[in-house]
Structure 1
Amino acid sequence: MDTVKSIVVKTLLRVLSWIPLPLLHRLAAMIGALVYALPTETRRVTLINLQRAMPELSDNERRRLARRSVQETIKAGFELGHMWYGSVDSVMSLIKGIQGKEHIDQALASGRSIIYCSPHLGSWELMGLYVSTLAPLTTLYKPPKIPGLNDLIAGSRARAGAELVATDRAGVVKLTRALQQGASTGILPDQQPREGGVFAPFFGHQAYTMALVSKLAARTNAVVLFTFAKRLPAGAGFELICMPADPDIANNDTVLAASALNRSVEACVRLAPEQYQWEYKRFRKRPADESERFY
C-alpha cells in the first residue's frame, strides 16, 4: 500500500512541477476555497487558533483570514513539485528579493555558525534550500510516513550540499558538533516537541515550546536568524525575509529563552499572517494546572 501511495504522490507532484507557478497558485486558491467551505478539521482548527491568537479581529475579518490561510496552505503543498523536482537554479530563480540580507551577510562574515529558524510560514522548503547554498548546512531530518518518498525528499533537501542527520540524540550530537565547527543549520522553531520543551507565551497563550534552539545557541555561540520565504501575489515568486532573533534567545533561563523564540516567530507571522499554517494544533498540550481545552 505504501508503494502505491508513494507512486501516486510522486506522480502528482511531478505533474504539479510542470504547471507554471501563477497557474498553480490560482488552482490552489480555488481548491483552498472549496476546502474552507466544507466542515473540515482544517477549517475548525484554523478558526479556533485565529480566535485565540488574534482576538482583536472581527468575526468577518477572522473568517476571511482563515479562508486565505487554507488557500495558502494548499499553495504550499502544490509548490512541493517545484521545490523537490526542480533544479537548484530553477528554484532559486523564484526568489525575487531578499529583505534583511545584511543580517545573513554579517553572520557569515563573522565566522560564527548560523541557526536559521524558519517557522511554518510561506515556503520553508525554499528557505531551506536557499540557505544550503550559502555555506555548509547540517539539518535534522525525520523520514516521511510514506517510506517511498524518503529518497525524493531527502535527496531534494541535500542537493545543494546540506547534510541530513536523524532527529534523535545521536543526530543532535552531530548537529551540535557541526555548529561548533562552523557549519549552520535550519530548524522549524514552532513545532511542538515531544519532550524537553517548556511552556512559554505564544500569541498570548501558553504553548509547549522547544528548548533546542536556545540550547544550541548557548553551547555553540551561533547567530540565530529568523527567516521565511513570503509568497508574492499572482504567483510572481517569493521574497525572502530575514531578521535577528530576540536578544534573549540564548538566555540561560529556558522559559525566558523560549519566550524570546516565540516572540521572534510572532514577529515573522505578523508580516504575513495569511501564510502561516494555522491549522497546526500548536496549543494541543496544556500546562498541568490549566483546565482549559483548546481543541
Structure 2
Amino acid sequence: MSKFFTYLALGLLWLLHWLPLPAFVAIGRGLGWLLFWLAAPRRKVVRINLKLCFPHLSEAERERLAKDHFAMVARSFLERSILWFAPEARIRRLVRFKNQERFDALVGQPVILLAPHFVGLDWGGARIAMSYDCASMYAHQKNPILDKWLLHGRTRFGDQQLLSRQDGVRGIARALKAHRPFYYLPDMDYGPRDSIFVPFFGVQTATISGLPRLATLGRATVLPVVTRALPNGAGYEVEFGEPWTDYPTDDLEADTRRMNAEIERWVLTMPEQYYWVHKRFKTRPPGEPRIY
C-alpha cells in the first residue's frame, strides 16, 4: 500500500472513531457482506475451516456462519479507530471485565494470559493494558506507517512491553521473572518449527507447544482470557477463566492438547467471532495432502 493510501485509510479511521459503537455493527455487516463476495481466496479458507470444524452443520448453516464471521472481521478492523484515537474513558465504558478477581489474585506472580484469536482480541488487550502493565509479542509490519500505528495502538495505555518473535523465549522469560503478565496468542499456524500435531476440532493441527514450555520455564500460572463482542454493539466483555491447575505436566503433547481443547470450548460459545480467515490447517503431517 502506498503512503498516500495508507494515510488516506488512517484519516478515514480517525473520522470513524467519532461514531457510536452500534454504527460499526451496521457498517461492519455491510462491508463484511461485500468482502465475502470480493475476497474469494479468504472466503474459500473460511468455508474449508468451517466444514472441517463443524461437519455436523448443514451447508446453509455454515454459509450463514461464514457471512457472520466476515461481518465481525470487517467490524473489528474499523473499530480499531476507537482503540487508536478515542479517549481512554470511552474505551473503559465500552469494555467490562468478568471475573477480574481471578486475575487480581495472580498479580505479582508469573502468569500467562492465554488469549485465543477472537476478533475482539485488541479490545481485550487495550482494556487490560489500562489496568495492568503486561508483555506481549509483536510482529513488525512491512508497511512502516502501518507498523507505527499498530505499535501506537498496542502501547497507548500503561507501560507495555512488546517482544519480537525473533527474540525467542529470552524476552518472555525475563518478563515473567519480573512478574509481568504475558498476553499470549499461540493458536495460529506458525509452521512446523516448534509445533506438534494435536487435534483441533478433530483435525490434526500443527500447534506450537510454547504454552507448556513457557509455563515450565517461568513457573507461571496459565489464565485463559477471552474477549467477546456483545450483541447489538453493547460493547465488549473480557472474561477471565479459571486458572489452570496441575499444569504443565511432564507430557508435552497432553499439555498442548489441553490448550486446543480449552480453545475449542470457548469457540463453541461464539463461533462467528473466532478468526476463521486464518489458514489454521495449512501445515500438514508428513504425507498428508494440502487442505487449502
Quick check: 1:12 aligned with 2:16?
Answer: no
Q: Which residue of structure 2 lines up, in the alignment, with residue 225 of structure 1?
A: 223
Is 1:138 aligned to residue 135 of structure 2? yes
Residue aligned with 1:133, SS: helix
Structure 1 residue identity aligned to 2:142: K
What per-residue deviation string (whole Å, max 9, x for no partner) do you get for residues 209-239 of structure 1? 1122221111112121221221112211111
Q: Once the 2 structures are TM-superposed, how far is the Cα of residue 87 of structure 1 from its aligned partner? A: 2.7
- Structure 2 stretches lacking a partner, 5+ long: none
| Structure 1 residue ranges, 4+ long, deviating more than 4 angstroms after superposition | 245-249
Residue 128 of structure 1 and its aligned partner are, at CA, apart by 0.9
Which of the numbers 98, 110, 115 marks the counterpart of 1:118? 115
Aligned to 1:188: 185
Q: Is the 8 A contact 1:43 1:279 kept in 2?
A: yes
Counterpart amino acid of residue 260 in structure 1: R
Aligned-residue offset at 1:247: 4.8
Structure 1 residues 178-200: Cα deviation after superposition (integer angstroms, max 9, x where no partner) = 10121111111212224211111
Letter in 1 for 2:148: D
Partner Cα distance (1:214, 1:133) in 2:
27
Using the TM superposition, give the Cα deviation of residue 5 of structure 1 relative to its aligned residue in structure 2, in angstroms: 3.8
TM-score (norm 1): 0.91
Give identity over the alignment, percent. 29
- Assess, with a 3 A threshold, how the Cα gap between structure 1 residues 39 and 4 changes in structure 2: closer, same or farther: closer
Does the C-alpha gap of structure 1 residues 142 and 273 become closer, same or farther in structure 2, counting only changes over 3 Å?
Answer: same
2:35 aligned residue: 35
C-alpha deviation, 1:2, in angstroms: 4.0
Residue 210 of structure 1 corresponds to: 208
Deviations 1:10-33 (A, max 9, x none): 122212212221112101101212
Between the two proteins, the alignment pairs up a number of residues equal to 290
**Does structure 1 retain, via aligned residues, the 8 Å contact 2:223–2:244?**
no
The letter for the 2-side match of 1:48 is: I
What residue in structure 2 maps to residue 62 of structure 1? 62
After superposition, give the CA deviation of every residue in 1:250-281 in whole Å (9 maximum; x if it has no partner). 23332212111111211221111111111110
Q: CA deviation at 1:123?
A: 1.0
SS at the partner of 1:271? Answer: coil
* Greater Cα shift, 128-137 or 245-254: 245-254
Residue matched to 1:151: 148
Q: How many angstroms apart in 2 are the aligned matches of 1:41 and 1:167?
A: 27
Secondary structure of the structure 1 residue equivalent to 2:241? strand
TM-score by length of 2: 0.92
SS of aligned partner of 1:107: coil
Segments of 5+ residues of structure 1 without an aligned counterpart are none
Contact between 1:33 and 1:70, CA under 8 Å: does it hold in 2? yes
CA shift for structure 1 position 115: 1.1
Tell me the equivalent position of 2:100: 101
- Partners of 1:106 and 1:23 lie apart in 2 by 37
Change (3 A) 1:135 1:239: closer
